[in-house]
Amino acid sequence: MTDLIRLCPAAAASEGQPQDVDLPGLPPLVVYEVEGAYFVTDNICTHGKARLSDGYHDGFVIECPLHGGSFDIRSGAPKTAPCQIALRTYEAIIDGDWIAIAAPAPGR
């Protein structure tokens, strides 16, 4: 069985209000809720090093607050310039009332 890391209560992330998560041993993460589904990505923009949780979230798109580039939160793919490098995404797993991800393999 895969070990899970609980990130935040599901109620902490609501549509249009991403929840930032900072846990020891993990990069800064952000949890999104869209139409009852949850998504998790790295929280640092690959272009400007800004926290995406401070950006504008609309549906499946998160816009960086620094330069206005955006990403698709489902795949991490950049949507608008100046972003060119995809965000890392994680499978959001419901664990009771919590949003969790699978524990990364050692060395990742």
Domain limits of the chain?
Answer: 4-19+27-102
Which tens digit of pLDDT belongs to each residue from 79-97?
999 999 999 999 999 999 9
Class of domain 4-19+27-102: mainly beta
Write the CA distances from 61 to 20, 34, 70, integer angstroms: 16, 10, 7
Which pLDDT belongs to residue 48? Answer: 85
The C-alpha atoms of residue 69 and residue 90 are separated, in whole angstroms, by 21
Percent of the chain with pLDDT over 70: 94
pLDDT in tens, 26-72: 999 999 999 999 999 999 999 988 999 999 999 999 999 999 999 99
Residue 20 has pLDDT above 80, yes or no: yes
Prediction pTM value = 0.93
What is the Cα–Cα distance from 23 to 6, expressed in whole angstroms?
10
Q: What pLDDT shows up at residue 107?
A: 58
